[in-house]
Structure 1
Amino acid sequence: MKLIVQIPCLNEEETLPSVLATIPRQVPGVDEVEILVIDDGCTDRTVEVAREHGVTHFVHHARTQGLGRSFRDGVVRSLELGADVVVNTDGDNQYPQERIPDLVRPIVEGRADLVIADRQTHLIGHFSPLKKLLQRVGSAVVNRAAGTDLPDAASGFRAYSRESLMVLNAITRFSYTMETIIQAGNKRLKIESVPITTNAKSRESRLFRSTPEHVAKSAAAIVRSYMMYKPYVLFAWLTAVFGFLGMIPFVRYGILWLRNREDGHLQSLLLGALLLILAFMSLMLGVISDLIRSNRVLIEDNLEHTKRSRFHVPYPGVDLPARAPVRGLDRAAER
């Protein structure tokens, strides 16, 4: 079994040595441990530092592509290298790499497809009360959308089984963390959480410039991911709300008509008609979005088949003859 630890980096020459030095080279249940550094448009000596510390696998981006794209390209390269388990960590030394064996263990033992480190944000000293509250609210919203019960949905310290990577498809460039949980939950993957204690803060986050920006982008990612799997829920609610509100003016006008007081109340009919039109439009959008969802499911099935063929990963319960992993990356070439 091969484990690949991938590290997305954006100018991490100062902290990367600490990360590389603490990654265990021996993990119970794993035969090989290799490290992959994703150079997301670094302009400092990050790549040189990684080479000096023995890293031989890289993915290079000429310009900064974002964390989501870095994660996707790293996963593709890891699968090409024959990874059975992929651990994603950060180059800022936020996470305790010594806990990688604990992240990998549930996958090695066959108990989980995805393992997420719980940073226990309530114990992090440099997190403000507002940030801790937003973390709890964000995790609760993601759990609601995914049907999961995870204490820290935003944690990027994770372990993925090869099987899970066959069915997960990150889309957003901002951050894949919440999106992949919603996908994994709706695809009935087994997810576990492992509590950890984070390292001391080394720098400010480069993923967002302010808390409002982080909240806005995270909310957009959650809504987009949820709409991919259950669009009919939103439109069903909109149809019900607009339909109920639209009937109120008609009922009011009917009561006035029975009392011979209908004159001068045509505005009620106009308002009711407008709301009922909105209800009908919501219903039609719900039908269309559900058809699009069905089409996306077929596309994802085809994408999974393509991945399994490319990386020679059989479907569960099906054995295929051994073959060397495919080499080469189309858009993020190894140097």
Structure 2
Amino acid sequence: MRQQALLYIVIPAKNEEEAIGEVIRNVPRSFFPGLTVKVLVVDDGSTDGTVDVSLAAGADEIYTMPINTGLGAAVRAGLREAYERGADYAVMIDADNEYPAEQIPELVAPLLAGEADYVMGSRFMGTIKGMKWHRRLGNYLFTALQMILLRRFISDGQSGMRAFNRAALADLEIIHDYNYAQVMTLNLVRKGYRMKEIPIRYQVRTTGRSFIRFVPYVTKVLSAVWREMRRPVSPRQPDS
């Protein structure tokens, strides 16, 4: 890592005024020498006080989507903005406070050490509190599908807490707007980026409402996985 480096924490959000403030306040700001941490909230068409709460809690920057476009599109836009604003590293974390922002230093440690290009926080390697059985089963099934397609072990292919180095940010493609979880990993690993998982503590959201509905989720995700696997991929490119 160069002497001064920039880490962006990207938080996609839609109507998360009840939870996002705590997520932002829990982001560690000083944990590695020479690393500057900035929080970028991607507002995906919120109609509540998400933006005001984010700024009051300490968000450094807000990127506003022109209309509500979906989680995949919000993540794609946020990571692109982080790259264009000079990020050497980026973390994406959900705004609903299910994922432990205080574990961000552990998530980025393999990147800072040059051991990985892409890191996922694994709930199944860590602890899971309150996840319903059908959600857990769905996670197992979609993770198993990724393992079959990539021919490698993955413990949690649906995680909403991930980190990237600059090379991975530059080359990442998310091909659909609805979600990102499966195609992101397929895209980066197929291109040759080094992936690592670290255990995290997880608790089910206590505020707001999840966008996931079983039938549309399965239909859209399987379609996106099919499209991703049919696309030719180029080997990873060195960062300029």
TM-score for both structures, normalised by structure 1: 0.66
Q: Which amino acid aligns with 2:153?
A: D
What is the deviation of 1:140?
Answer: 1.0
Which blocks of at least 5 consecutive residues in structure 2 are unaligned?
none
Name the CA shift for 1:169/1:128 in 2 (closer, same or farther; >3 Å): same
8 Å contact 2:11–2:41 — kept in the other structure?
A: yes
Is 1:12 matched up with 2:16? yes
1:54 to 49, 52, 58: 58
SS of residue paired to 2:203:
coil
Of Structure 1 and Structure 2, which has the larger fraction of its residues in helix?
Answer: 1
Structure with the greater relative contact order (CA < 8 A, sep ≥ 6): 1 or 2? 2
Pair 1:221-2:236 in alignment: no
Q: Write the deviation string for residues 273-330 of structure 1: whole angstroms up to 9, x where unpaired.
A: xxxxxxxxxxxxxxxxxxxx4xx75xx99xx7xxx9xxxx42xxxxxxxxxxxxxxxx
Distance 1:179 1:161, change over 3 A: same
Pairs within 5 Å for 1:1-335: 1-120=5-124, 124-203=128-207, 205-208=209-212, 210-228=213-231, 293=232, 297=234, 313-314=239-240
Q: Is the 8 A contact 2:126 2:201 kept in 1?
A: no
Moved over 6 A (4+): none
Is residue 118–residue 195 contact of structure 1 (8 Å, CA) maintained in 2? yes
For each residue in 1:193-220, what CA deviation from the matched residue of structure 2 results, as whole angstroms up to 9, or x when unmatched? 0111113422465322x22332222222
Contact 1:146-1:184 at 8 Å conserved across structures: no
More strand by share: 2
Unpaired runs of 5+ in structure 1?
A: 229-292, 315-335
Output one character per residue of 1:155-180: Cα deviation in whole Å (capped at 9) or x when no partner.
12000111111221111101111101
Question: Contact 1:3/1:32 (CA < 8 Å) preserved in 2?
Answer: yes
Please tell me the residue identity of whatever aligns with 1:62.
P
Compared CA separation, residues 131 and 13, structure 1 to 2 (3 A): closer
Q: Take 2:125 and 2:178, find their aligned partners in 1: how far apart are those partners?
A: 21
| Two-structure CA RMSD over aligned residues (Å) | 2.1
| Partner AA of 1:135 in structure 2 | N
Number of matched pairs: 236
Report the Cα distance in structure 1 between the residues aligned to 2:226 and 2:125, rounded to whole angstroms: 23
> Relative to structure 1, is the Cα distance of residues 129 and 14 closer, same or farther in structure 2, using a 3 angstrom cutoff?
closer
CA separation in 2, counterparts of 1:29 and 1:227? Answer: 43
For residues 174 and 2 of structure 1, what CA distance do their matches in structure 2 show?
A: 29
**Share of identical aligned residues, percent?**
29
Q: Contact between 1:5 and 1:34, CA under 8 Å: does it hold in 2? A: yes
Q: For the structure 1 residues 205 and 219, does the alpha-carbon distance in structure 2 shift closer, same or farther, using more than 3 Å as the test?
A: farther
